Amino acid sequence: MSKVPHKWLVVITVLLGTFTIILNNSMLNPAVPHLMNVFGGDAVATGWVITIFMVTMGITMPVTGYLGDKFGKKQLYMAGLFIFILGSILGAFSWDLSSLILFRGLQGIGGGLMMPTSMALIFEVFPRKERGLATGIYGIAAMMAPTIGPTLGGFIIEMGSWQWLFLCNIPTGLLGLIFSYLYLKQTKKVNGLTFDLSGFVAVTLGVGAILLALGRVSEIGHLTNVLNIALIVFGLLSLFLFIRIENRKEQPLLDLSIFKVRAYTYSVWIGSISSISLFAGIFLVPLLVQNVYGYGAIMTGLSLLPGALLSGIFMSIGGRMLDKKGPALVVTTGLILTTIPTFLYGFLSLETALWVIFVLNGVRGIGMGLSTMPSTTAGMNAIPEQLITRGSAMNNVLRQMSSSLGIVFISVYFEVRRGQLTALNGTSLEQSSLQAINEGFIIIAILSLISIPIGILLGKEHKKQQKDH
């Protein structure tokens, strides 16, 4: 390791931790039916295994900026990874469903401390002109892990026992801890900080309530559930109150003035739409391959693989392009390459060959690799250095909410539309499923299409900032 430049050891270190967290979460999604049998819980109760992680992670993220400044980013990252490993060890020894949910919540707290801090640690050691490539390499974890996770999780459930879903985190987690101790540099602690308690309470209640409501929705009936409606209304009111509080505070928990930096705002929009597109695809492609074309879980995993591999490769290429040319060309090209195959997914038929899905998924992966992390990096580069951790926290919270919203919208749309088509037209379940999936992809493609002008605006803002500097 002595020949590897220190800054790249930082990237490898945070990539290890991030990959472990995202992979573990996506591995557990296909395991819910199995966990229902193991613990004798119903779908709603067992669904909390997924929901609690999302909620605790989402409510922890906003406080990472303050904690990173107060105690140092290295300490915060290592504390988060330690909590995640502890949650994994305890999770493997869960004795009932309640204990499993509790330990998953602990994992979520660890992940919430780590995810925003990872980006800030990379920005600490790389100059602006090299951050694109660095975050491109780091971003491989964010793009590949959710794609290969479900297949890996299904394999573990079939070949081993559910405990391995947790135990497999421990080797990479411990390696990440050792690397963190050795290679992460101490960051300066900020003196004279005051904790924004009222802002913390408001954002925790707001983000927590909305993520909890979204986690409880998987079919149309859940949308009219009184508790879910109340949670969303309460969450939105809490976030409105949070904005009012933050605008008055001298030391806000999350400095909302960063949204006045247009490049950052544009990057958050692109990142949020990319999250919706990524997770909607991860939801719809397995339905397409299994429910419509009748293939098994292994072929489903293989169909997602081209997108995962190519997004990883092109994320580093996109990072290099960002460093050399700025975001205009790379982000806009990426958004176009994401939009076209997503739109073409809307025209598949029952006779479409499986290789077409492989190709479309691959091209989508190239597009996401070129647009997602380069746009985020360009936005983060545009804000003051002292606000990087808070900017990263905001970005992560909004992506978490976007991906949850995307999955809820697409799953509900698919269920409702398939039912309508079967009832109205008397078509087969396969044909109704295919049309509902086609329409879902077209909706996602329209969102991507709207983002293309935002990519152009991001490029213009970047050029303007370059002239000012």
Q: What is the pLDDT of residues 372-390, one digit of tens each?
A: 999 999 999 999 888 888 8
* Whether residue 237 has pLDDT greater than 70: yes
pLDDT of residue 468: 66
Q: Do both 259 and 189 map to the same domain? A: no
Token pair belonging to 96: 């009932």
Q: Tell me the pLDDT tens digit for each residue of 393-424.
A: 888 888 888 888 888 888 888 888 888 888 87
Number of C-beta neighbours around residue 153 at 10 A: 26
Q: Do both 184 and 275 map to the same domain? A: no
Which of 51, 66, 126 has its CA nearest to residue 394? Answer: 66
- What does R_g of the chain's alpha carbons equal in angstroms? 21
Average pLDDT over every residue of 115-143: 87
* Whether residue 466 has pLDDT greater than 80: no
Q: Do both 160 and 283 map to the same domain? A: no
Which of 391, 98, 436, 64 has its CA nearest to residue 287? Answer: 436
The domain in which residue 333 lies consists of 255-468
Q: Do both 40 and 173 map to the same domain? A: yes
Q: Tell me the pLDDT tens digit for each residue of 153-172.
A: 878 887 878 899 999 899 99
* Whether residue 62 has pLDDT greater than 60: yes
* Residue owning tokens 């991001």: 458
CATH number of the domain encompassing residue 116: 1.20.1250.20
Number of C-beta neighbours around residue 163 at 10 A: 14
- Domain annotation covers residue 458: yes
* Whether residue 197 has pLDDT greater than 60: yes
Question: From the DSSP assignment, how many helices (H) and strands (E) are in the chain?
Answer: 18, 0
Q: How many CA atoms lie within 13 A of 362 on its CB side?
A: 8
pLDDT of residue 455: 93
- Domain annotation covers residue 113: yes
Q: Do both 159 and 263 map to the same domain? A: no
Q: Do both 308 and 447 map to the same domain? A: yes
**DSSP output for 87-147:** HHHHHHT--SHHHHHHHHHHHHHHHHHHHHHHHHHHHHHS-GGGHHHHHHHHHHHHHHHHH
* Whether residue 1 has pLDDT greater than 60: no
* Whether residue 222 has pLDDT greater than 80: no
- Domain annotation covers residue 239: no
- Number of domain units in the chain: 2
Cα separations (Å) of 331 from 83, 109, 194, 280, 335?
35, 32, 38, 20, 6
Using pLDDT thresholds of 50, 70 and 90, give the confidence band for residue 111: very high
Q: Do both 275 and 136 map to the same domain? A: no
Average pLDDT over every residue of 460-468: 81
pLDDT of residue 139: 84
pLDDT of residue 239: 93
Whole-number mean pLDDT of the chain?
Answer: 88
pLDDT of residue 397: 87
pLDDT > 90: percent of the chain: 43
Token pair belonging to 284: 């719809």
Q: Do both 261 and 406 map to the same domain? A: yes
- Domain annotation covers residue 243: no
Q: Do both 375 and 445 map to the same domain? A: yes
Higher pLDDT, 104 or 283: 104
Is-contact 300 290, C-beta < 8 A? yes
pLDDT of residue 2: 56
Strand runs labelled E in 336-432: none
Using pLDDT thresholds of 50, 70 and 90, give the confidence band for residue 218: low
Q: Do both 264 and 184 map to the same domain? A: no
Using pLDDT thresholds of 50, 70 and 90, give the confidence band for residue 283: confident
pLDDT of residue 469: 59
- Domain annotation covers residue 439: yes
Q: Do both 289 and 383 map to the same domain? A: yes
- Domain annotation covers residue 362: yes
Which of 265, 260, 271, 261 has its CA nearest to residue 375? Answer: 271
Q: Do both 289 and 418 map to the same domain? A: yes
- Domain annotation covers residue 218: no
Sign of CA dihedral 24, 392, 200, 83: positive
